[in-house]
């Protein structure tokens, strides 16, 4: 079975546009769960542009499984250690980016990433590393002791029609390599109601983390309906 994690960051983006109290990421998350989402993801960015510290605390107290996306910094490791969410996904973070661009360089920053993985695991948190579908990064992720990788699907999602098949092949090969190394495999970034068709050809997937397309659709049809439509597409996953 393929699980859906809904990223509720952009509910907070709408709220922060007016520095208001609503819409509430927690209220949205609870509706996502009601519609069948397996998990809820939120990214506490260093600049706090959308999710705030209090959102993370509220979500962690109320949702079944919170996946905290975070940069590899002492501040974030310390916040996660106090909060103890179900899982943490370590991502690269640049202040000027619109969204997470590219995967974490686990191989290049091996000691720093491994120290964060170990600290989080000591707190009983499952750890995922958000990486490009690259064999060197996958090996480094396995060596770091992480439980999961989350494959960055942005290159596939943004690819021109002519290179989409090649990007998908890269994701399929990476998933197989990660499974051989006993890593569990998630995927996320840029997945929408159309390009998910290709994503479902990737073997070994445990979970898809999807934010922008679901929150965007929710504006038109409501968040429960938006989640249900995505789950209906995921239902036939063969693994
Ligand atoms: N996974 C990770 C690690 C991310 O950083 C993001 C974007 O915040 C997502 C999944 C969701 O991407 P999208 O909003 O494009 O669905």
100-111 tens-digit pLDDT: 678 999 999 999
Spacing, Cα 152 to ligand 1 middle (Å): 8
Q: Which domain holds residue 168?
A: 44-207
The Cα–Cα gap between 134 and 145 comes to 17
pLDDT of residue 239: 84
Which residue's alpha carbon is nearest to atom 3 within ligand 1? 130
Spacing, Cα 19 to ligand 1 middle (Å): 23
Q: How many domains does the chain have?
A: 1
Q: Could you tell me if residue 98 is inside a domain?
A: yes
59-72 tens-digit pLDDT: 999 999 999 999 99
Q: Which atom of ligand 1 is nearest to the CA of 192?
A: 16
CA atoms within 13 A on the CB side of 63: 35
Residue 226 contacts residue 36 (beta carbons within 8 Å): no
Spacing, Cα 157 to ligand 1 middle (Å): 12
Task: Give every residue of the chain whose pLDDT is below 50, as ranges.
Answer: none
Spacing, Cα 8 to ligand 1 middle (Å): 10
Residue 8 contacts residue 29 (beta carbons within 8 Å): yes
- Give the global pTM: 0.96
pLDDT of residue 95: 65
Q: Could you tell me if residue 187 is inside a domain?
A: yes
Q: Which atom of ligand 1 is nearest to the CA of 5?
A: 10
The Cα–Cα gap between 232 and 221 comes to 15
CA-angle at 53, arms to 58 and 79, nearest 5°: 100
pLDDT of residue 236: 84
Ligand 1 contacts CB of residue 190 (under 6 A): yes
Ligand 1 contacts CB of residue 138 (under 6 A): no
The Cα–Cα gap between 93 and 77 comes to 14
Q: Could you tell me if residue 171 is inside a domain?
A: yes
Q: Could you tell me if residue 117 is inside a domain?
A: yes
Instruction: For a ligand 1 pocket test, name from 4, 44, 69, 214 the mutation site with the most ligand atoms within 8 angstroms of its C-beta.
Output: 69
Q: Could you tell me if residue 122 is inside a domain?
A: yes
Ligand 1 contacts CB of residue 130 (under 6 A): yes
The Cα–Cα gap between 185 and 208 comes to 9
Q: What is the CATH number of the domain that holds 155?
A: 3.20.20.70
Instruction: For a ligand 1 pocket test, name from 188, 194, 205 the mutation site with the most ligand atoms within 8 angstroms of its C-beta.
Output: 188
Pair type for strands 205-210 and 3-7: parallel
The Cα–Cα gap between 36 and 225 comes to 10
Instruction: For a ligand 1 pocket test, name from 189, 190, 199, 226 the mutation site with the most ligand atoms within 8 angstroms of its C-beta.
Output: 189
Q: Could you tell me if residue 221 is inside a domain?
A: no
Q: Could you tell me if residue 129 is inside a domain?
A: yes
Ligand 1 contacts CB of residue 51 (under 6 A): no
Q: Could you tell me if residue 4 is inside a domain?
A: no
């Amino acid at each position: 079975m393929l699980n859906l994690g809904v990223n509720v960051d952009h509910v907070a983006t709408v709220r922060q546009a007016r520095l208001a109290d609503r819409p509430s990421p927690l209220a949205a998350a609870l509706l996502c769960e009601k519609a069948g989402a397996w998990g809820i993801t939120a990214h506490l960015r260093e600049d706090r542009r959308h999710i705030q510290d209090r959102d993370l605390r509220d979500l962690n107290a109320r949702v079944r499984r919170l996946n905290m996306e975070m940069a590899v910094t002492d501040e974030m490791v310390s916040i996660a250690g106090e909060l103890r969410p179900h899982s943490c996904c370590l991502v690269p973070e640049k202040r000027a980016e619109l969204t997470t661009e590219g995967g974490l360089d686990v191989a290049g920053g091996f000691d720093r990433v491994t120290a964060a993985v170990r600290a989080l695991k000591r707190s009983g948190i499952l750890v995922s590393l958000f990486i490009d579908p690259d064999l060197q990064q996958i090996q480094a992720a396995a060596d770091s002791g992480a439980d999961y990788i989350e494959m960055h699907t942005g290159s596939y999602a943004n690819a021109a029609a002519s290179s989409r098949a090649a990007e998908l092949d890269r994701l399929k090969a990476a998933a197989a390599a990660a499974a051989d190394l006993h890593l569990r495999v998630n995927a996320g970034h840029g997945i929408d109601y159309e390009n998910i068709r290709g994503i479902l050809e990737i073997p070994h997937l445990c979970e898809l983390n999807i934010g922008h397309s679901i929150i965007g659709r929710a504006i038109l049809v409501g968040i429960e309906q938006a989640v249900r439509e995505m789950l209906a597409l995921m239902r036939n996953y063969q693994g």
